[in-house]
Amino acid sequence: MEPHVKDLYRIFFALKPPQRVARQIDHFAATLAPDAKRILLAHQHVTLAITVDRQDYPYEQIKALRRIATCIMADPFDLRLDRLSEGGRSVALRPP
């Protein structure tokens, strides 16, 4: 019998593409690998920062990160993702 492995969690900040861009990315992925499983449009994102995996996060840490997130603002900008990289379980578009 295998030992029970607890779920691990991570917290991250991410940019979500506009729906039009998410559809373009999905179309590009379908063209490259028509039989591959693709990420749902609603789950597409660009990770900006990520925490380590943990079995739990103290609620005070989560509240602090949410406060920080509400202060982050930026003018619209272009983001070019023109590199393709492959990991063990995924393929990702990356900036130059």
Section 66-86 average pLDDT:
87
φ, ψ (nearest 5 deg) of residue 26: -60, -40
- pLDDT value for 44: 92
Give strand pairing partners of 93: 84
Tens of pLDDT, residues 22-73:
999 899 889 988 888 888 999 999 888 988 898 888 899 889 999 999 999 8
- pLDDT value for 87: 76
Give strand pairing partners of 13: 49
- pLDDT value for 41: 93
Kindly report the pTM of this predicted structure: 0.69
Query: pLDDT grade, residue 4 (50/70/90)?
Result: low
> Could you tell me the CA-to-CA distances from 3 to 6, 8, 53, 76 in Å, in that order?
10, 15, 19, 48
